[in-house]
Amino acid sequence: MSGLLVADGERPREGGADRPITEVAVGVLIDPQGRFLLTTRPPGKVYAGYWEFPGGKLEAGESVEQALRRELQEEIGVTIGQAHPWQEQLVDYPHALVRLNFCKVYDWSGELQMHEGQAFAWQTLPVTVEPVLPGTLPVLDWLQQEADQAAASARG
């Protein structure tokens, strides 16, 4: 797991220093061409319009994979195959302290349907959409590191 990422550090933290950690399951959907799916935060939510990887909060008793399966069905209308646990990132947002549990997903069925009025875009690096949610930035770095490692391995 990476260290703590502080988003908008100049803004006060709701709930103070002892606030609980909110667990969030996040899907990094990667298509056969190597593109990944980004969606916007829905209208009316904190950071509305910012681009992020889709997902949502774990409910009581849910595993990360169960939450991701439920959230992606509710939010974007797809049923995922296996979720591959990948990275975690603790993010201190002004409104909440969240642990983002990122899973790569290569297999899903159903057509994308933005049930919450959000936009979506299939992206490659560097991304062409903005603004990007602070908690999404480390993922873009990790994807770039993987691409760089793969390129170095291919060169021998």
What is the domain count for the chain? 1
Q: Kindly give the pairing relationship between strand 21-29 and strand 97-105.
A: parallel
Q: What is the pTM of this model?
A: 0.93
| Residue 56 bridge partners (DSSP) | 25
Supply the CATH number for residue 81's domain.
3.90.79.10
For the chain, list the strands marked E by DSSP. 4-6, 21-29, 36-40, 51-52, 55-57, 79-80, 83-92, 97-105, 108-109, 120-123
pLDDT at 16: 75
Q: Residue 99's Cα: distance from chain center in Å? A: 11
pLDDT at 156: 82
Low-confidence ranges of the chain (pLDDT < 70): 1-2, 17
pLDDT at 63: 98
Residue 20 structural domain: 4-155
